[in-house]
Amino acid sequence: MIITDFNTSSIGWFGESNGKFKLVSTFSYYNKLNKKVTYGLSQSVLAGNVYSKNNLIKNPYYMFQVLGNHNKQKILRTDLSSNKYDFFKLFNKRKKINDTKLSKIFNNDFKLKIKKRKGLKIVLFNDIYKNFSNNNFTSKITFKDFQNLDFEIEFPINHLNVSSMKKKWQVETGPVLLPLIFKKNNKFDLLPSFVIFNKFDSVDIFYDYPFGFRNRKQSYLKNILCEIDLYSLQNNNSKLED
């Protein structure tokens, strides 16, 4: 099976100053013209004053992340507390949202580079247990008619639990890129989120990564029906060209 190699894929901008991130998730759907559209999500980092000689960390502090493709991009900025002891306030009240809108921010100077490689499809607990020591799993989830939208997400597994005695397993991972759909016009925004699942036909979703402040009304969605594929990556000789 051919899957995304998140270890070598990337997302970012180029020009006089280049910025490249690790790719941590993809989201794909078919638009009204039946053309496949794919967005990528970058790893989140602490924002810095680039190339500065002093004060390399921006103040006020915030996490910086990008999502997009060649045509549209979005910058996500998640505020952090300026007081390292103010944990209660940090997790209960967001100062403000500094995200951009999904638009053509970088003109033509943006690239989503997705590398592919072969993977072994996991269908049984014994397959998971056999490959557990490799610690190199990815997943592809297909959603049908999720709030009137069909789409697919793909991402690496950051945390996997297994119990040899109970023969059970559970994935807890994120961020993954998921749509937040507006019922009034059927349009959607994209948010980095968490997913948890322990079977192949449903998933629990938590909007949004990391603090859940961008969608306060319905942050937790339970038992969402879907088709989950789990893969173990093969050796490095199985890499393909993008």
Q: Looking at this protein, which amino acid is placed at residue 14?
A: F
Check pLDDT > 70 for residue 91: no
- If you average pLDDT over residues 172-188, what whole number do you get? 88
The helix (H) or strand (E) run that includes residue 130 is: helix 125-131
pLDDT at 96: 59
* 127-152: pLDDT as tens digits: 999 999 988 999 999 999 998 899 99
Q: Is the pLDDT of residue 92 over 70?
A: no
pLDDT at 85 over 70: no
223 against 239, higher pLDDT: 223
Residue 86 has pLDDT above 70, yes or no: no
Task: Spell out the domain ranges in the chain.
Answer: 2-113, 118-237
| Average pLDDT, integer, range 187-206 | 95
Residues 6+ away with beta carbon under 8 Å from 235:
none
Between 225-229, 231-235, 236-240, the lowest mean confidence (pLDDT) is in: 236-240
Work out whether strand 168-181 and strand 149-156 pair parallel, antiparallel, or are unpaired. Answer: unpaired
Task: Reply yes or no on whether the pLDDT at 89 is more than 70.
Answer: no
Top pLDDT among 159 and 218 is at 159
* Confidence category of residue 239, pLDDT binned at 50, 70, 90: low
Average pLDDT over residues 208-216: 79
Where does the pLDDT of residue 94 fall: very low under 50, low under 70, confident under 90, or very high at 90 and above?
very low
Return the H-helix or E-strand segment holding 26.
strand 19-30
Residue 43 confidence class, pLDDT cut points 50, 70, 90: very high
Q: How far apart are CA 36 and CA 108, in angstroms?
A: 19
- The bridge status of strand 137-146 relative to strand 149-156 is antiparallel
Residue 183 confidence (pLDDT) = 72
Confidence of residue 216 (pLDDT cuts 50, 70, 90): low
Q: Which residue has the tokens 């039946």?
A: 34
